[in-house]
Amino acid sequence: MAKRSFLIPGVDKRLLIKDSLKTMPDVTRRRFIAGGASLGALTLLTGCDVIDSSSAENMLAQVSKFNDAVQAFIFNPDALAPTFPESAITKPFPFNAYYDLDDAPDVSAADWKLEVRGLVDNKKSWTLDELYKLPQVSQITRHICVEGWSAIGSWTGTPLRDFLKLIGADTRAKYVWFQCADKDGYNSPLDMRTALHPQTQMTFKYAGDILPRAYGFPMKIRVPTKLGFKNPKYVVSMEVTNDYKGGYWEDQGYNSFSGS
Ligand SMILES: Nc1nc2c(c(=O)[nH]1)N[C@H]1C(S)=C(S)[C@@H](COP(=O)(O)O)O[C@H]1N2
Ligand SMILES: [Mo]
């Protein structure tokens, strides 16, 4: 018998995905499968958070109504992720990593520098003070984790595309690859198209305050068009490259395109 997965009480994740696939238009289904066919991706596309069997039913109803907006999002990597009012923010916002909060990197602001490598004109490292001087914008967007939860948060920082322009990055390169300060390493490649997406952000603040340790101090990359694992925290370096260098979860089978 096939293995069942009951991460959410009363909801068989595998069956939910299977049922969703049945109701999807053909081309959407193909794209959805190519993108990893995860519950997270369904959450991203339907806007429904599955926490019990009735919200699972609701998600299925949404999939059967898949409309032009969903089509646009699934086929257009430049489509914008939905934004929300302040009243929708999830409090407290969850912490998540492959370890407990006590083991999260405790980065010293004075010693930290963002290293820039690869296909860029200017490979200078950036101190936090220098980065804080760059123009910043805010977004209230939904973070969706493949493990089956989502939460809405408020993030402030510099659009990554502005920074890439500033350092003279070769935007014809395929990836921007991020490395993090986690004790056993964490990294993730981002396709250039998504790196240049207007909502992709070098994030320095959460809810208007300096990014707390839990959420990636001093800098995380916020990518609201991708699943949570493609939002690296505690970033220490970025490399503009044509080589696919893999990533922490990508190497364990999660689709690198995960998201849109
Ligand atoms: N450096 C680092 N970044 C990471 C992770 C991690 O373990 N280490 N986990 C990822 C996953 S799976 C999720 S869901 C989000 C969680 O972010 P949060 O703690 O701000 O909710 O961070 C992502 N970025
Ligand atoms: Mo996640």
Output the tens digit of pLDDT for each of the chain's 260 residues: 444 556 677 788 888 999 999 888 888 888 888 878 888 888 888 878 888 888 888 888 888 887 666 777 777 778 888 899 999 999 999 999 999 999 999 999 999 999 999 999 999 999 999 999 999 999 999 998 877 788 999 999 999 999 999 999 999 999 999 999 999 999 999 999 999 999 999 999 999 999 999 999 999 999 999 889 999 999 999 999 999 999 999 888 787 776 53
pLDDT of res. 183: 92
Looking at the DSSP assignment, which residues form a beta bridge with residue 116? 238
Ranges for all domains in the chain classified under CATH 3.90.420.10? 86-252
Q: What angle separates helix 39-46 from helix 13-23, to the nearest 10 degrees?
A: 50
177: part of which helix (H) or strand (E)? strand 175-180
Separation of CA 99 and ligand 1 centre (Å): 10
Measured CA to CA, the distance from residue 249 to residue 245 in angstroms comes to 12
pLDDT of res. 133: 98
Residue nearest to atom 20 of ligand 1 (CA): 215
3-state secondary structure of 90: coil
pLDDT of res. 105: 98
213 lines ligand 1 (CB under 6 A): no
3-state secondary structure of 99: coil
Separation of CA 230 and ligand 1 centre (Å): 8
The string of DSSP letters for 36-88 reads T--HHHHHHHH----SSHHHHHHHHHHHHT--HHHHHHHH-TTPPPPB--GGG
Contacts of 124 (CB under 8 A, 6+ apart): 116, 167
Looking at the DSSP assignment, which residues form a beta bridge with residue 59? none
Strands 149-159 and 175-180: unpaired
Residue nearest to atom 7 of ligand 1 (CA): 97
3-state secondary structure of 190: strand
pLDDT of res. 45: 81
pTM: 0.87
- Among residues 202, 175, 189, which one has the least CA distance to residue 114? 202
Residue whose tokens read 């970033």: 235
Measured CA to CA, the distance from residue 259 to residue 229 in angstroms comes to 10
Strands 113-118 and 235-241: parallel
* Ligand 1 site-directed mutation target among 43, 142, 154, 229, most atoms within 8 Å of CB: 229
pLDDT of res. 7: 64
CATH topology of domain 86-252: Sulfite Oxidase; Chain A, domain 2 (3.90.420)
98 lines ligand 1 (CB under 6 A): yes
pLDDT of res. 14: 87
